[in-house]
Amino acid sequence: MNPIIPYGKQFISDSDIEAVVKVLKSDFLTQGPENTEFASKLASKCEAAFATVVSNATAALYIAYKALGVGPGDILWTSPNTFVATSNAALLLGAKVKFIDIDINTFNMSIDRLEEELKQAEIYGALPKVIVPVHFAGQSCDMKALWHLSEQYGFRIVEDASHALGGKYNSKPVGNCEYSDICVFSFHPVKIITTGEGGALLTNSAELKNRIDMLTTHGITRDFSLFERNDAEPWFYEQQFLSLNFRLTDIQSSLGNSQLKTLEKNIARRREIAANYKSAFKKLNIKTQSNENISSDESTYSSWHLYVILLSSSQERLALYKFLRENNIYTNVHYPPVFTQPYYKQLQFDQSICPISQDYHSRCLSIPMFYGLSEDEQHKVIDAINKFFIL
C-alpha cells in the first residue's frame, strides 16, 4: 500500500532542528533575542512597520479585537468560510458577530454582498465596529475595495491572514497593512510556516503596537514613558488593563526564524503545484479558486495554503473523498460555515443567511498542498482524480 498523502503537512529541515537546539542550550527560553528577531523579520518581509509574535493566531485575533476596543455592544462582521477562531475571539469579548456570504468564485467574503449589508445596517443603526476579511486558502480579499467602504461607513479592519503569509496583493506582500489596522498570521503546523503553535500581529500604528504588546503580557508595560505614576523605582512595572499571558517562546521563535529563510522557496513550490493541478484538471468538471475580482497578473497571488476543488454536487464530493481515501490520499473540507456549528445554532444564528457558503461547503474538497509534496505524490493525486472522473 502507498504511504498516506495528507492534505497539508509541515516541513522541518535539519537547520530548523539545529536552530531550536541552539536556543535550548542558551540562556533564554522565552522572550529572548530570537523573539525580537522573529518579529522584526516578519515586519520587514511583510513591509509593515511593527510586528508582535504571540502564542497562536486565536490569541492574536483576540488581542487585535481588544486593541481596537471591541467589547459588549459592538458588532464584528466576517466571512462564514473560516475557522471558528475568527468569530469566537469576538464572542469571547462580548461582541456580536454577523456573517457576510462568500463569492462563489473567490471563496472569500463577497464585497458586493458586504456593500448591500452595510447600506441596510446604516438604516437600522447596526453598523459593525470591525470587519475581518479572511484571506481564504491564501488568496487576499479585495482590500482596496474594503478600505473604501471603511472610509464611507467608519469601521476598522483586521485581516485574518492565517493562510496568507507569503501571498501578494496589489504588488505588496500580504501583511503590509496598507488597507487595514492589523493583520494576523498563524504558525500552526498545517499553515505556510510553523512554530508548533504560534501567531503574529502586524500593524503600521505605533499606538496599536503598544496596546498589542501590553495585551500580550497581562496588560503590563515596563516602558517608563507610558507609566501613569511618575515616582516609579527602576524595577517597577505597571499593569494598566486586563489581559492574560499570550507570549511566544524563544524556542518557538527560533523555529520561526529558521522557517522564514525558505519562505520564498516554499511559496514558489506551492504556486508550482497549484499550476500543475490547474492544468491537469483543465478538462474535468472541477472549479478552482479564482482571483478574477482582483487581478489575474503577477501583482496579486495566493500563498496556496490550501488547494480547494469545487465538485458539481455533494454526492460527487463524497464519492471522490472515499475514492481518494481508498488510494491513501487524505483530503479535507474547509470550512463548514461557522454559524452551522452546534454552539452557534444554540445562539440562534440564522441558518439561511449565507446560502452561497452552504452550497460551497456541500461541494468543496481540499486536496494535498504543501511545501514537501513530491513530484511523485503530485502525480499520484492527479492520476487518482483523473481516474475517478474517467471511470
* Encoded amino acid at 181, one letter: D
| Region binding ligand PLP by CB under 6 A among candidate stretches 77-85, 102-110, 230-238, 371-379 | 77-85
Non-local (6+) Cβ contacts of 144 within 8 A are 170, 179
In single-letter form, the type of residue at position 354 comes to C
Of 88-147, binders to ligand PLP (CB under 6 A) are 134
For ligand PLP, which residue of 34, 160, 181, 213 counts as binding (CB under 6 A)? 160
Query: Does 381 help bind ligand PLP (rule: CB under 6 A)?
Result: no
> In 3D, which of 14, 45, 69 has the Cα closest to residue 211?
69
Work out which of 58, 88, 258, 266 binds ligand PLP, going by CB under 6 A: 58
From CA 78, how far away is CA 89, in angstroms rounded?
12
Q: Is 247 in the site for ligand PLP (CB under 6 A)?
A: no
CB of 268 to ligand PLP, least distance (A): 22
**Out of 166, 167, 199, 256, which residue is the one contacting ligand PLP (CB under 6 A)?**
199
Q: Say if residues 329 and 198 touch (Cβ distance below 8 Å).
A: no
Amino acid at 284: L
CB of 53 to ligand PLP, least distance (A): 11
For ligand PLP, give the closer residue by CB, 305 or 380.
305
86 binds ligand PLP (CB under 6 A): yes
Nearest to 186 by CA among 51, 81, 43, 53: 53
Using alpha carbons, select from 113, 58, 121, 116 the residue that is nearest to residue 90.
58
Least Å distance between CB 134 and ligand PLP? 5
The least distance separating ligand PLP from the CB of residue 162, rounded to whole angstroms, comes to 3
Shortest CB 88 distance to ligand PLP, Å:
9
**Size of residue set near ligand PLP by CB under 6 A:** 14
Pick the stretch among 35-43, 101-109, 156-164, 353-361 that binds ligand PLP (CB under 6 A): 156-164
9: left (phi over 0), alpha (psi -120 to 50) or beta: beta
Closest distance to ligand PLP from the beta carbon of 300 (Å): 19
Whichever of 55 and 327 has its CB closer to ligand PLP, that residue is 55
Distance CA(276)–CA(304), nearest Å, equals 13
- Which of 7, 50, 83, 281 is in the footprint of ligand PLP by CB under 6 A? 83
Measured in whole angstroms, the distance separating CA 327 from the mean position of its chain's CA atoms is 30
CB 338 within 8 A of CB 87: yes
Q: Which of 10, 56, 243, 378 binds ligand PLP (CB under 6 A)?
A: 56
Ranges of beta strands (E only) in 235-337 are 238-239, 287-288, 307-310
Using alpha carbons, select from 309, 308, 302 the residue that is nearest to residue 270.
302
Minimum distance from residue 12 beta carbon to ligand PLP (Å): 17
Distance CA 267, CA 264 (A): 5
Residues that bind ligand PLP (CB under 6 A): 56-58, 82-83, 85-86, 134, 160, 162-163, 186, 188, 199
